[in-house]
Amino acid sequence: MSAEQSELPDEDAERSWKERIALVADALSALIRTRLAILREELAAKAVAVAKGAIAAALALGLSVVALLLLAAFLAALLAQWFGNVALGILAAFVLFGAGAGAAVLAARRALTGLKPFEFPAASEELRRDWNAVRESWAPEASLSAETPSAASRPVPAGPVAAGSPREETAESLEERFRAGAE
């Protein structure tokens, strides 16, 4: 609150909670309006930059297409001069561009033939190993002692996990797995 709002020393004590909440709400709404105005200005500046960038990219794309057309025309003119006939030059340029496109299609097919987009064998194996380590660390003590015959002959204390117990080894292997994955 500013000094202008509370002229009298006991004015704050005379205000009700409703008036105090209204003052806070007014201050909050003014703050929000200010922040929204700042955000609108920044968005407008960014929109202008994005529009300029989009126009420049469209212009670059258009000029690239024109350059490719000029390259094709130059190749056709060069071949027409070599063959002595305009029609044969254009046909030869068309055949060359078609052969280039066919070679690109074959290269793309070879590259994508072995692709299995929804199979991730290394990641799946690591996730399976992580899940098994977590599951083993949560296993009850009885199932751990049943899995390892040497653990049945060792006494298992009722309190904290004893050093060298299967449960501690499982916890250590789980911790090692997570540490290895983090590095």
DSSP 162: P
Residue 182 is predicted with a pLDDT of 63
Q: What is the mean pLDDT of each run of 10 residues along the chain (183 residues)?
A: 55 77 88 88 90 95 95 94 93 93 94 84 85 82 55 46 52 66 62
In contact, 45 and 53? CB cutoff 8 Å: no
State how far Cα 42 lies from the chain centre: 25
Residue 165 is predicted with a pLDDT of 52
In contact, 130 and 177? CB cutoff 8 Å: yes
In contact, 20 and 11? CB cutoff 8 Å: no
Residue 54 is predicted with a pLDDT of 95
Residue 10 is predicted with a pLDDT of 63
